[in-house]
Each structure stands twice: as structure tokens, then as C-alpha cells.
Amino acid sequence: MTKRDWMRQRLWFTTVPLLAVLFSAQLSAQSAPPEEATEQSEEQSQEQSQAERYPTHPPTEADRIWVDGFRDGVQTVLDSTASWVDGFFGEPLDSDKYEGSTGRLIVAPQWDEHDGFSIDSSFRAKLKIPHAKEQFSAVIGRGDFDDFVAGDAQRRPSVMRRTQGDDEWLVGLGFDPYLDNQHDLSFGAGIRGGLKLDTYVRARYRFETMVADNAEIAVQSVGFWRDSDGFGVAQDIHHEVALHQRWVAKTYARATFAERTDGIRWNANSRIYYLYDTNRALASEVWIYGETHHEAPIQDYGIRGIHRQRFLREWLFMETWIGTHWPKETELQQRTTRWMVGIEFEMILGNTG
């Protein structure tokens, strides 16, 4: 068994029990009798407690063991790893000094009429290392390299197919000098691909501002070098606007060019949310992606209907969705309608207050 197969097997046995518990809990929650709706003023809702603002169905004891225990276990591993990394910069400190690592874990089982069944997953964590001062941090993650260098601001939809070589583990160190609330600067270096030692360095600058009372725009530029691709640049733009008290639209686009790749990799997606409850929303999404010098420059585009909600805890989100897309991998291939359906769990690590 190769190292990659071992890691995949370990991820499978780690995530499948969690998914089984979450799914069974959702079924039991849906079978519960609905409560009567009550009207509250905006001031009253602001005074609600955290539990009232994020209502959850009472979890079973199994939910507590698997959901809370799983998150606590991951958080403990992150804090212990932060302590180990910080040891390179000085004498170990008390364990509570390393609490505060943050991150995100996403697991998304899905079925696609074109690709069959798969489990898309990604993980990213930022570790606190006190001896290296607040501007420095260690990062570890698994996922697409383009998403990793872009940071936590945005990620492409899980329905966009990843190349096998890009979906790998990455570790590194980051330096984040504070500028101000509108400008953000970050530097980083590390390795990807495990024992392949595919080294990388990157510099990231982000600017965001309000362009209207109800609209915000963010522009991000990334310069990087990695051993497998040479020098490269990535440009992101994100626009968010509140159309109404319950309607929000988000649009995101990215273009990436590397020295030893053909053409420009690009993708874009847009979502419109309807917030019908404090913790629940319906959304429609369109997306498209491709490569300029690929045999099929537009590799895929599609549309999805999505339901997103907090699930059991304030730090756990669930998306269920169904959609259709039109993939094309070769010049001669004819586009045909392909259906897809899936569920996605997103767990936020660290302080959620």
C-alpha cells in the first residue's frame, strides 16, 4: 500500500462514521413535530441568547460522542502540533498558550452521472506559534493548491473536478504583517505532495472595500513559485451585495497562470441566497471553469439548487444540493446533460464566538 493510499484509507475511516451520525441525526430532526412560529421584533431577536439565535434540535448521546468528540479531537491534535512547531523557536510553554488554532474541515459525498460516486474533502488549519510572535503562523492543509495559496477568503465549489496531482497535503509557515482593515498582506513557504517535497513560496495581497451601502468588493493578487510549475500568478475578485433584507448575491472569479502550464486556469461562480430563517438559506448557483489552451477550453458549466443550514452546533454547517452540468473533456466529445446530487458538511475549528 502506497503512502497516498494509506492516507486515503485513513481519511475514509475517519469521516464515514461522522457522516453516518450526522445523516441519522438529520433524519431524526426532520421527523420531530414543528414548533409554532412566533413574530419577534428586530430588537428582541438581537437580545436572544446564543442558543436561541442558533437553535438546534436536541442531539442524542451518540451525536455528542461523535460530533463534539470528533471536533475536540481534531482541535487537540492542532494545538499539540502547534506546540511541537513552536518548540523549534524556544522552550515549550503551558498548553493553554497554544489554544487558538483555527481551521476548516469539509467532507462532501456526491454522485455525478458523469463521474459516479466520490467523496470530495479539504482541510486547512492555521496554527498558533507564540514564540514566533503573532504575525507568524504554521499552516497545514489538504486540497487544491490554487485554493490553498488563495487563503480562506474563497474556495471554489466542490462540484468543480480537481486534478489528482493537485489534491494533496501541504504544510508551511506564514507571515502576516498587519496593515489595516482594508489591506491585507501575507507571505508563506512550505512543501506540498508529502514525500515528493514539491516546495513553494507565495506572496498574497488583498484589498476590500464597500462600494455602496449594501455592496462590498474584494480584489486579491497572489504571486507564487513551486517546483512543479515554476513562477505563477493568480488573480481573484469577489463581489457581494445585499439585494434585500433576505436576499444576498455573491460572485467570485479566479484566473491562474503558471510558468510550466499551458494557458490560464480560470473559474467563476455566482450564488443568490434567500435567507428564510436565522440559520437556513436556499440558494441557486451557476458556475463555469476551464483552461485557455486545453483541448476543451470550457471544460464544464452547470447550475445547482442548494439548501444550507447550521446543523446540530453553531460551528457545523450542512449543504444539500441537486444540479445539472455539461462537461466536456476532449474537442470531439459532445456535451450532454449530466445530473448530480450531493451533501456537504463544513466544520469550523477554533473559536466561533
pLDDT of residue 81: 82
pLDDT at 41: 38
Q: How far is CA 141 from the centre of its chain?
A: 11
- pLDDT: which is higher, 303 or 330: 303
Model confidence pLDDT, tens digit, residues 80-111: 888 887 777 777 677 777 777 888 889 999 99
Overall average pLDDT of the 227-252 stretch: 91
pLDDT digits (tens, 9 = 90+) for 302-318: 999 999 999 888 889 99
Instruction: Assign 98 to helix, strand or coil.
Output: helix
Lowest mean pLDDT among 16-25, 104-113, 271-280, 327-336: 16-25
Please determine, for residue 177, whether its predicted confidence score (pLDDT) is greater than 70: yes
Is the pLDDT higher at 344 or at 133? 344
Q: Which of 144-148, 157-161, 249-253, 337-341 has the lowest mean pLDDT?
A: 157-161
Residue 99: name the closest of 349, 313, 334 by CA: 349
Type of residue at 342: G
Grade residue 155 by pLDDT with cuts at 50, 70 and 90: low
- The model's confidence at residue 65, banded by pLDDT at 50, 70 and 90, is low
CA distances, 270 to each of 18, 253, 347 (Å): 30, 9, 23
Asked if the model's pLDDT at residue 59 lies above 90, the reply is no
Cα angle for residues 164, 263, 256 (degrees, 5° grid): 70
Question: Does residue 69 surpass a pLDDT of 80?
Answer: yes
Which pLDDT belongs to residue 212?
A: 92
The residue assigned the cell 460530533 is 67
Report the pLDDT averaged over residues 2-28. 39
What sign results for the dihedral spanned by CA atoms 155, 78, 65, 19? positive
Residue 8 has pLDDT above 60, yes or no: no
As a whole number, mean pLDDT of residues 159-186 equals 76
pLDDT exceeds 70 at position 47: no
Per-chain mean pLDDT for the chain = 77
In the chain, the N- to C-terminal Cα span, in Å, equals: 42
Higher-pLDDT residue of 313 and 240 is 240
Position with higher pLDDT, 133 vs 324: 324
pLDDT of residue 198: 82
pLDDT score for 268: 94
Specify the higher pLDDT residue, 227 or 12. 227
Q: What percent of the chain has pLDDT over 90?
A: 36
